[in-house]
Structure 1
C-alpha cells in the first residue's frame, strides 16, 4: 500500500482539475495517479459502499484503455463493482449512470491534444460539483499495487439506452429524404450517431473516418475543417453535416452549404424548440440569447459545465418550469420540464451533442426549410473564437491583469480598431465591451496552456477579424 495525499500528488504529477475533470499529459497519468483519483472520488465523496456498482467508460484515445485498467483496479480495491460500458459518448455513460442510480467515471480528454487525457467523475445525480472537486483534492488514499489486469468485459446497455432516448423521442420517419454527412474522424459518438440518424430515416454518408485520434475543438474550427465542410456539402449534395468532439459531448453542425454553425446559436435554437423558460449559459455566449426575447430568464455563469449546472439547479429551486443550459462549444444540458411536442424529455444535466443536432434537423424538417434558414429571425449578432496554443498560463494571467486596469494597454493591443472600453466583465477571464458595441473576451483555458479569444460583432466577418487581430497582436507582443 502507498499512502497518497491528492493535493501533493496534483502538484507532483501535474494532473489536476481543470474546467471539466482531472487532466494532464499521458506521461503524467500513471496507473498510480489514476487509481488514486478514482479512490479519492469514491472514498472522498463517501460513495464506496460494499457491492456498489460503478459505471466506467472511455473515448477512443490510444491511452484510454490503460487508464481504464487502473480505474477498474481501484474500483475493485474500494470494494465496488465495475460495470464497464466500453467506448461510448460521455453523455451516454452519464445518462445510464443516472438512470441506474450509480456513480460513473469516464476516461476522456475530450477535445484536447492526443498526448493528453483525463478522467471525469459523476455522482448518481450527475456531474460532480466544484465542492465535490475540493473534497476529492483534500483526500488521502491508500493505493495497492496492481498489475496489468485484462480489460473488463463490455456491457452494451448504456449505449443502447442512449440511442433509445432519441429514437423514442422523435418519430421514426423524421429524417426521411435527408442526406446527412457524419464527419466521423475519431469521435467515440460516430457509430451511435449513424445508428440514431438511420433509425430516424436519414441517408447517412460517412466522412473522414480515422483510427488516428484527431483533437476536434468545436470552438476553434480549423481552416482545414472549414474548407472540408464546404467541399463535402457540394460533393455529396448534403442537407447537413454532423460531427462531435472526441468524447461526443460537443456538437459540430454544418448547414446545407457546409458552413459550421456557432455552438451558442445552436444552443439558443435548441432551447427555444424545447420550450425552455430559463436558459443558463456562460458569459462567453452570444448576446443574441437575451436580444431574441425567447426566454423569460437568462442566467450567465463562468465557463464550464459545473457552473452551468449550478445555475440550472438554482433556477429549478426558484421555481422555473423548464430549464436548459448550453455553452459556446455547443454542448447542451437538459434540465427539467423540456418537451418535444407532447413528449417529455428526461433531464440530462451534462453536455450532450446528439440532442442539439437532432433538434436542428427536426426544426428544419417541420418548418420545411433549409438548416441555414433557421437563424433568419434571430438578432444579427455574430461570434467567433480561436486560441493561442502552447501559451503559458502565467503569460495569459499577466496580460489580463494589465488589460483589466489600463486603457493604455488596451489601446496598444487594438490601436483604434475598437475605440474606448465601455465595460469590463471579470466573471471568467476578461470580457471587454467597447463603446461601438463590439465585444472581446480573453480567457486562459482551464484544460491546457492556451489563451482563448471570443469576439462578438454585427457581422461574422468582423467577429472573425477581431479574433485574428487580437491573437496576432498578443502573439507578436510575446514574441518580441
Structure 2
C-alpha cells in the first residue's frame, strides 16, 4: 500500500518511502503551503530516519528553500523552534508504529498542517518543482535548549523531592526529558534504554511493558515513571506503584491545573471530562488536526488533548514559577509536569482516584488485511442488527451509536465499545469505557476476542 495521510501526517512502509515519493510530497508541500524561506528538518531514532531526512533536504534545496537540519529531536521541540524562527518544518517519524514504517509530519508558519492543508498537498502531488534558485543550508539556535527552557521556566522547583524514573527505550526525547525533570527539581533514574527501536504506543501499553514498569517502581522506590512514544509527542506516566495513568485522564487533570475554560478532545477520550466543570467541552474526530481545528474555532482559554495523552495548549498559561506560551501541536512534557506538580502526599494515584469514576482502556489487533478490517467496520456502521449481534455476545444492549469516527456504541449498562481502523497502520483499535476498572478489563478482553473471531469469520457471516 502506498504511503498515505493518516490521523497526523504521511505514513507508510519504509520501502515505499522512496526518494521519488518523498520528493513529490516535499515539492507539493512547498508549492501549496506557506513555509517562508526556510524548512527545518528533524528526525526520530528509527534506523531509516536519517536517510529519509536527507531525501527531504535534497528536495527542499531543489525547491529553493533554505534548510536547517536538527538531527534527532522531539517533534514538539522541532515545531516550537520552527514557529519561533518563522519557518516551516518536516519531522521524519513513524511515531509509535513499528520500525518497518516511517513518515513525515508537516508544519507551516502557522503550525501543524490542517486537513485543508493536507488536501492542498495531495492536490499538488505530481507537479514539477518551479524554484528559481537553489536553497542553502542555514544555522539556527539549538532547538533542544529552547525546548528545555520552555518547561523549566514554568516549573522550576515544582518537582523537588520527587524520585522519577525515565523509561528511555528508543524515544528521541529521552535525554531532554531527563534534563527537564532535573531542571524542575526531580531526582531522575534512567530505565530501559535501548539502542534498538521499540514502538511504544502510550495508548495501548503492552502487558510486558506494564509488568516492567511495576517492577521498576517497586525496585527503586519511585514516585512515578515517565516516558514518551518514539517522537516524544505522546506521554506515558505511572503512579508510585508503576500503574499506567490513561492519557485522557492526564489530559483532563492538566486542563484543570492550567485553568482551561474550554476543552477540545476526540470522541475516544474519557467522557468524565464533561463532569469536571469546564465551561465547554467539544468532542471531535480522532486526530490532532481535528483537535486543532476545534481549538481555533473556540478561542480563549482553550486546551486540547487526545486519548494517547498528547496535549495542546491554546493560551498563555501560568505554571508554578512562570508562564508557558501556547503550543498547538501534540506535547508530551506539559501533561507530565502538570500532573506531577499537582501530586501531594498521596502521590499520583491520589490525583487519579479523585477524578470522576469513568475508566477507559484501548488495545488493537495488528497486521490485519485492510479490506477485511474495513469491511467489518462498515458492516457495524451500516447495520443495527450487526451491532446488536456484536453487543449481544458481550452481554450488552445498544442504547446509542455515534458514527463520527468509526463505530462508537453506547450500551444500556453505561459501557462504551468504540471500533475504529487506525489511520497510521494496518490495525483495528478498540476503545472501551466503563464505570469500574473490573468491568473495563473484562469488556476490553472480551471485545478484542470477539473482533478477532469476527475477522476470522469474515464480514457478513454470523459472529462465532
TM range (shorter): over 0.9
- Answer whether contact 1:253 1:260 (CA < 8 A) is retained: yes
CA distance in 2, matches of 1:412, 1:84: 54
Structure 2 residue 27 is matched with structure 1 residue 44: no
Q: Distance in 2 between matches of 1:388 and 1:463?
A: 18
Checking the alignment, whether the CA contact within 8 Å between 1:385 and 1:464 is kept in structure 2 is no
1:344 to 1:66, Cα distance in 2 relative to 1, 3 A? same
CA distance in 1, matches of 2:255, 2:116: 28
Partner of 2:340: 361
Contact 2:155 2:320 (8 Å CA) reproduced: no
Instruction: Tell me by how many angstroms 1:178 deviates.
Output: 1.2
Query: Which residue does the alignment assign to 2:309?
Result: 330
Shift of 1:413: 2.6
Residue of structure 2 equivalent to 1:185: 169
Give the secondary structure class of the aligned counterpart of 2:244: coil
Measured after TM superposition, the shift of residue 250 of structure 1 is 0.2
In 1, the alpha carbon distance for the partners of 2:456 and 2:403 equals 26
Q: For residue 293 of structure 2, what is the aligned residue in structure 1? A: 310
Q: Per the alignment, do residues 416 and 39 of structure 1 end up closer, same or farther by CA in structure 2, a change over 3 Å counting? A: closer
For the residues of structure 1 that align with 2:455 and 2:90, how far apart are their CA atoms? 39
Contact 1:418 1:438 in 2 (8 A): no
- Name the residue aligned to 1:427: 404
Change (3 A) 1:337 1:175: closer
Per the TM alignment, residue 405 of structure 1 is displaced from its structure 2 partner at its CA by 4.1
Give, in angstroms, the shift of residue 16 of structure 1.
1.2
Give the superposition deviation at 1:270.
Answer: 0.5
Shift of 1:75: 1.1
Q: 2:22 aligns with which of 14, 31, 34?
A: 34
Task: State the alpha-carbon separation in 1 of the partners of residues 171 and 140 from structure 2.
Answer: 20
Question: Per-residue displacement from partner, 1:94-146 (whole Å, max 9, x unpaired)?
Answer: 011111111111100000110000001001111011111111111133369xx
Alpha-carbon offset, residue 408 of structure 1: 3.3
Deviation at 1:33, TM superposition (A): 1.2
Number of the residue aligned with 1:352? 331
Report the 3-state secondary structure (helix = DSSP H, G, I; strand = E; otherwise coil) of the residue aligned with 1:378.
coil
Deviation sequence 1:300-339 (CA, Å, 0-9, x none): 00000000000000001xxxx3010000000000101432
Distance in 2, Cα, partners of 1:347 & 1:94: 12
**CA offset digits 1:131-175 (Å, max 9, x no partner):** 11111111133369xxxxxxx79856111100000111112x222
1:283 CA drift (Å): 0.4
Provide the TM-score with structure 2 as the length reference: 0.94
Q: Deviations over 1:274-321 (max 9, x none)?
A: 00000000000001000222x1000000000000000000001xxxx3
Q: In the alignment, which residue of structure 1 is the partner of 2:413?
A: 436
Count of matched residue pairs: 450
Aligned to 1:297: 280
Q: Aligned to 2:154, what secondary structure does the other structure show?
A: coil
Is the Cα contact below 8 Å between 1:382 and 1:459 reproduced in 2? Answer: yes
State whether residues 376 and 455 of structure 2, in contact with CA within 8 Å, keep that contact through their aligned partners in structure 1: no
- From 99, 110, 125, give the equivalent of 1:114: 99
> Please, which moves more after superposition, 414-423 or 28-37?
414-423
SS at match of 2:15: coil
User: Is structure 2 residue 390 aligned with structure 1 residue 409?
Assistant: no
Stretches of structure 2 lacking an aligned partner (at least 5 in a row): 131-136, 458-464
- Is 1:142 matched with 2:125? no
- Residue 15 of structure 1 deviates from its aligned partner by 1.1
Mapping of 1:454-473 within 5 angstroms? 454-473=431-450
Matches within 5 A, 1:190-201: 190-201=174-185
Match of 2:202 among 218, 222, 226: 218
Offset at 1:89? 0.5
**1:212 alignment partner, SS class:** coil
Q: 1:301 touches 1:307 (CA, 8 Å); kept in 2?
A: yes
Alignment of 1:19 with 2:7, yes or no, is yes
| Residues 170 and 120 (structure 1), Cα distance of their counterparts in 2 relative to 1, 3 Å cut | same
Deviations 1:232-253 (A, max 9, x none): 1000000000000000000010
